[in-house]
Structure 1
């Protein structure tokens, strides 16, 4: 199952969730109606009275459930993953941390983010949780947060931590997080009647001394609401189990795809089984997030378990695994619990005192077939993870430090967007100085000078590393940064397509993080209705990559044959060049998953029409794919034959 198939699968599960929610609501309403029928003595009442009373009770109950679900979902949506992490006692990882466990966590997360083509999420630690667990939460990858327990940091070595983080990134990339948020909202609604029942029961109990019929009826309604609420609890657990289990197997498989090894993930699962704390969480909110955790947060009977049995998960990764090994590990670790950092040292996974020199820049050609590149969307190749580590290692430490800090990340980001053309850069400098003051404009100019020595291949990874610090700025500052990006783009008419795409991507990521939706909103369209936008994108790419008109048109035709094989569209490069893409993004992003798969193939066919894909073109390709919410890993060398999705 490739990325685009998983996108369709998540949509099907979302529809399934709606039906399960509706079924649970019908059951709860029926219980409340029965209680109302008995409490109000409707057996002897006229038919129209019975119908009217039950209709009102049903409506009030359904509205209460729906409103509670909607409010809960909106609160979680607006708070992003950080809200969920903080609700469980999560603490943000400091930007200047010197703690070796936290620095190791940050390095692992950034490497996997770049390897998977996803934005770097916010990082949280649950310091008071000794169990081994983690989760990813958020409405979209742009406002995602990954949280790990203190036990996971302390007990897991680097390879095991990589496996756990890669598992969570699969939920980020494949759209599971939004489904999890919706599930939390749904569950809040169908269990909310239990709270209402307790409140009504307390009120009815106080009035019970008056022995009036109203109090008695109120008690009956309260008991019914309480019973319906607990029916909702049972239904909610069944829904979570039905929705979550298979996705955990898929996330384990994706983690292996990301890291290209099973030992790390299997080792983490074995430590869960071999340590007394397991994956259990102490937080009172564990029930709310149990379906999004790496391991079971609480012990449930198998019918309500949100995760497959631990032994089964290990056996999928290691078919030779013997469950009796867990007993041996329990005995071994009861006296000497494992230490992840000590294991790193023993395994040679700690960073060297003097890092090796960065590898030389790779050859300028990257042969690749369009279907191979499309298959790598959301599915990193074997070389993606080590290549991501190499990319980060090649970025100077001082630039990484400024990218991590909220007080220096803004001028650094503006510096990335300043043009290499002196005239254009001067106009951009004047724009920044006029809008935001000369100190910021001077700082951005200095950063641009520092970035001049940066390999162009590293601009996108550095931008990805900088995104969390930008997101952590106050909301008003983020709006100011968005204005600055827009102003730089407007002053940058002579910039390259890549620099335009980089500024557009940065704007989209920050806007989506702040507003939980792309700048153009959520749209749905079809390839037929998006003919104009598709032709614009392919024409711009063909025109930029091929100066000769005949060659450019041939490249355009090659892409069109991939995307719309039975459609004839004229090759007309827009007069405004790549700026015409601003009007095309909404329709292109609104295409269904399968159409996006063909569009990625078409883009590769255009860019690689000459038989090669340069490093600069591959980074441009990643940026365009990111605009379409199709996370593409960095392409390192020729794509191997085994990159097709399994």
Structure 2
């Protein structure tokens, strides 16, 4: 999946949606005004009947009717959209979804939670809230929200009961594709806009019911006729609304299927889920009455529209794209095979996946040291490897030293476009590595991450453990701000960090995020202040501390105000070249002990980003404040510029042929701040490849 290309596509589709909606609304307003005008003429009574109404009498009535219609549509759309702005969890709750309990012992729930957490870790985003639609026997799932910070994933009871672990992983990977490529935001807007048109039909039916109960048949006849006409127009509006929804949705489903295969490297997983939909009696149909409103957000067709209105491609077409040799007559044999599948086989499958993860990374998590650098000759992460491969492939013989020499400029064709494609684009290795990270988490820390009452204490414990030098002072501040109970909870968690590898810290925080963001707003505001106090307590801010604070601030703010997040920017590089240079200088300063090496690394990144720029290396003294000022401006960059920025960041970090865990954490925090989620760096793999 081309993340930046999909961003541009999402922007284009959003504009197209607004244009189509505006056209539909204008046509509806014009037609309603015309019908009201005709009704006014037809039922003009009294003395005026002999001469008929004048244009001066008809036009104001028609204009008022049009304005009322426009106001109804706008108010209904605004009201619905405002409700949806509360986050993806609102959609799941409206559909009857139940949030998975943090202390659940239900094997199906735990399996679902594990799969979602692994996919989130592999994708480099916070773990979404997870809901189960208990009353839905059909096989379906959805992702809802505006951003990765407020996202929610819902699955039906049928999906949990019918899917194997690999098939469930394929379904969740499909939904993560919608989260990562911007489909969720478009889907939410579509729900809000179309609700305004639907409201016309609802109000018209209410008026008709009221008019029928009136005794004054002569007086209510015009009202009935106008209400009937508006109801018909509203139905026509919904007709076109469904066409718009279908047109925008179908191709995205093919893309999400393909992306899920890319994540899992297993076309049988998604294809198997689709085949099970085909052979089960309920299929993917939803029993709820509100299924139509979110039909375009589902994994499978939830309402059973005709092909004209279908928001999903035909089921067999999707299956055969993933499994070209499959034929419909094979479904009967598959049904018999699946009925014989036992629970023990599912458990064996889960164990086999974890063993595959351990085989891929025989050194375990210890392969990626927390304090030692990873040599460039070994696998320093897929992203760093792509930078080196890009330089080799470019045919450039320019060395780092030559790049920094006076008057020299590396050729512009050294930019490797494959690097940008790694953003929001995890591979199977990332998924398996995420399984290993999650499976090897200390149980006490994993349990605390899932508990609403302990998530804040867990984050504070991460900070205290990372500080290392003066935990007593940190604990005193925690007691001052949150009380003795919170201090005791943090102290109880600290011994378990001896079993936590440094690469597990960021994933642990991602797992804790759903529980964290559900805390009351005043408590979260006080918590953020305390985090800032702890980060600056010893007078120094480490890379990890900055990354943690930055991630918390941005994700919690977006979770509170998801619709205000600017995911798609419009700013061009020349407008923010000073801010880009600042970020490159900070990365170079922290990634290289020698000043000259840092300068060379900075120049390598600068010339990757802005080949003609001549901005000297000047690392800021207060690098924390400098980053805080620069990142919001860089977040407004348009997608092509963001892709180039990412290449420059990686070129700077990997200039010395190594990337430490703390450097990778800072890089991922910077990427998250500019809405470019980055998969985790991978340790050295078997065979050295």
Bin for the TM-score computed over the shorter chain: over 0.9
Q: Helix, strand or coil for the counterpart of 2:142?
A: strand
Q: How far apart are residue 133 of structure 1 and its match?
A: 0.3
1:53 pairs with one of 45, 48, 61: 61
Q: Helix, strand or coil for the counterpart of 1:608?
A: helix
Partner of 1:450: 496
Unaligned runs of 5+ in 2: 45-51, 369-373, 388-415
Size of the aligned set, in residue pairs, is 634
Deviation track 1:84-119 (CA, whole Å, cap 9, x = no partner) reads: 111111111111111111111011111111111121
Q: Does 1:76 align with 2:87?
A: no
Unaligned runs of 5+ in 1: none
Partner of 1:494: 540
CA distance 1:395–1:347, change in 2 (3 Å)? closer
Partner of 2:229: 224
1:564 pairs with one of 610, 617, 629: 610
Q: Helix, strand or coil for the counterpart of 2:648?
A: helix
**Which deviates further from its counterpart, 409-418 or 240-249?**
409-418
Partner of 1:128: 135
Partner of 2:621: 575
Q: Helix, strand or coil for the counterpart of 1:147?
A: strand
Partner of 1:30: 30
- Conserved? CA contact 2:543–2:663, under 8 Å: no
Q: Helix, strand or coil for the counterpart of 1:35?
A: helix
2:386 pairs with one of 369, 372, 375: 369
Q: How far apart are residue 453 of structure 1 and its match?
A: 4.3
Partner of 2:449: 403
1:601-616 matches, cutoff 5 A: 601-616=647-662
1:457-496 matches, cutoff 5 A: 457-491=503-537, 493-496=539-542
Q: Equivalents in 2 of 1:499, 1:619: separation in Å?
A: 10
Partner of 1:535: 581
1:146 pairs with one of 128, 148, 153: 153
2:244 pairs with one of 239, 247, 252: 239
CA distance 1:338–1:82, change in 2 (3 Å)? farther
Partner of 1:300: 305
Q: Equivalents in 2 of 1:594, 1:360: separation in Å?
A: 34
- Conserved? CA contact 2:11–2:568, under 8 Å: no
Provide the TM-score with structure 2 as the length reference.
Answer: 0.87
Q: Equivalents in 1 of 2:491, 2:203: separation in Å?
A: 60
Q: Helix, strand or coil for the counterpart of 2:575?
A: coil
1:90-169 matches, cutoff 5 A: 90-169=97-176
CA distance 1:185–1:420, change in 2 (3 Å)? closer
Q: Does 1:286 align with 2:286?
A: no
CA distance 1:514–1:639, change in 2 (3 Å)? farther
Q: How far apart are residue 486 of structure 1 and its match?
A: 2.7
2:591 pairs with one of 545, 558, 571: 545
Deviation track 1:275-319 (CA, whole Å, cap 9, x = no partner) reads: 111001101110111000000001111000000000110111011
1:344 pairs with one of 319, 328, 346: 346
Provide the TM-score with structure 1 as the length reference.
Answer: 0.93
Q: Equivalents in 1 of 2:564, 2:28: separation in Å?
A: 37
**Which deviates further from its counterpart, 80-89 or 372-381?**
372-381
Q: How far apart are residue 37 of structure 1 and its match?
A: 1.5
CA distance 1:519–1:36, change in 2 (3 Å)? closer
- Conserved? CA contact 1:431–1:491, under 8 Å: no
- Conserved? CA contact 1:460–1:619, under 8 Å: yes
Q: Helix, strand or coil for the counterpart of 1:635?
A: coil
1:211 pairs with one of 214, 217, 221: 217
Q: How far apart are residue 257 of structure 1 and its match?
A: 1.3
Q: Helix, strand or coil for the counterpart of 2:366?
A: coil
